[in-house]
Amino acid sequence: MSAAVELCLARLGTVGFRNLEAGSLQFASGLNVIFGENGQGKTSLIEAIYLLCTTRSFRTTKLSEVIQTDALQARLKGSFERGGLPWTLEAQISQRGRSFLKNGARPKERLLYVQSTPVVAFHPGDLLLITGAAQLRRRLLDRIILHRQPGAIDAKRAFDEAAKKRLFVLEQRPKSRELEAFEAVMAENGALLSGAREQAVIALEGRFSAIFTRLAREDLSMSIFFRPGGTTNVEDFRRRLEESRAIDQRRKMTTYGPERDELIVSLDGRPARAYGSQGQQRMLALSLKLAELELIRESSLTCPILLLDDVSSELDRERTEAVFRFLGHERNQVFVTTTRPELFADAGRILESASRARADFRVELGRISPL
């Protein structure tokens, strides 16, 4: 297999984004430590990078919320390098909508835009990967699938659209022959999506287990497995949809299919969400994200940018150093925010010993100053 190519965000410009002061920053290709007190803008910088690369925010589903008070729009521009090849990404968010450009041109598909600049983020909300709703774990699988089997992401879009139309017809015309057409589309695409998620879990399991063992240093038996909400057999899928029409009409929701898929995480044979300690759940969530990082690197042949938001508030010094020892063997550009930069003195030396460049930044009232 070909070696993965390094990806680097060399420079980022921001205007009108959250509380960040307008300006441009140059980053190191290795470790970038962003520190300051809470509420100063550290997470906003991480969010800006994530949004520019993915067209999504991990903090809100309403992108208009990122627009600075009294500003008409928020603008981001990033200069990237991948294996020596430069390109730019631009994002413009206004109350009327959003636009994203690559090298000054609008991409034909969002999928192609996102695939070009893989990024993985770990933020406090990701602790819910273990204890929260199944939807969060499905999203993790779909981020992996986007690079492993992108056709399944198109299948998800087709399934969701057909499911919405089917529910409308069930409400308005429950005996309509239209239902058969919508269910045929749902069966074909739902079976494809569930199959892709199952394959992602199989690929994820070995990496996840190995990473957790290295980081947690506990003698625990852990496992993950996939519990499908549907089937990969198209005809069986279609038949089950037909049989569930009455209950779907009554509940006003689709009760069979990939929206019921679940990723189960276990410790010593018991559900981690119920029986894992808070510390164990933190390490499990972080291990899932680092396994996601490895799978995306393998599939995209690109070392994804890693964003670690406030990881030092969730991990002690020993666990933080364990994370950076793991990263010391990788070639990912890393951005980490913290209120305690002293925790990253040893972590930084680990990366520096691997010939990784480092840069430090202080954030105060939205102003980001390189040190």
Q: Which fold has domain 1-118+304-370?
A: Rossmann fold (3.40.50)
Distance, CA of 244 to CA of 156 (rounded, Å) = 20
Partnered with residue 93 across adjacent β-strands are 74, 98
> So what's the architecture of 132-303 in CATH?
Up-down Bundle (1.20)
What is the pLDDT, as a whole number, of residue 348?
Answer: 56
Distance CA 334, CA 8 (A): 9
Q: Is 223 exposed, middle or buried (0-12, 13-18, 19+ CB in 10 A)?
A: middle
Q: What is the pTM of this model?
A: 0.92
Q: Which regions of the chain are under pLDDT 50?
A: 1
In contact, 339 and 41? CB cutoff 8 Å: no
Determine the pLDDT at residue 326. 75
Distance between CA atoms of residues 362 and 371, nearest Å = 7
Measure the CA–CA gap between 117 and 83, rounded to whole angstroms.
Answer: 12
Amino acid at the residue 228? P
* 340-364 confidence digits (pLDDT tens): 877 777 655 655 555 578 899 999 9
Question: For 119-244, where are the alpha helices, taking DSSP H only?
Answer: 128-131, 134-148, 151-172, 178-216, 234-243
Give pLDDT, residue 340.
Answer: 82
H helical segments located in 217-343: 234-243, 245-251, 272-275, 278-300, 317-327
Q: What pLDDT is stored for residue 354 in this prediction?
A: 54
List the structure tokens of 286: 């972080």
Count of beta carbons in the 10 Å neighbourhood of residue 213 = 14
Sketch the domain layout of the chain as residue ranges.
Answer: 1-118+304-370, 132-303
Per-residue model confidence (pLDDT) at position 350: 58
pLDDT at position 343, please? 72
Cα-flanking dihedrals φ and ψ of residue 5, to 5°? -95, 145
- How far is it, in rounded angstroms, from Cα 149 to Cα 308? 26
pLDDT for the residue numbered 208: 92
Which pair of tokens denotes residue 114?
Answer: 């996102």
Residue 287 has φ and ψ, to the nearest 5°, of: -65, -40
- For residue 278, the model assigns a pLDDT of 85
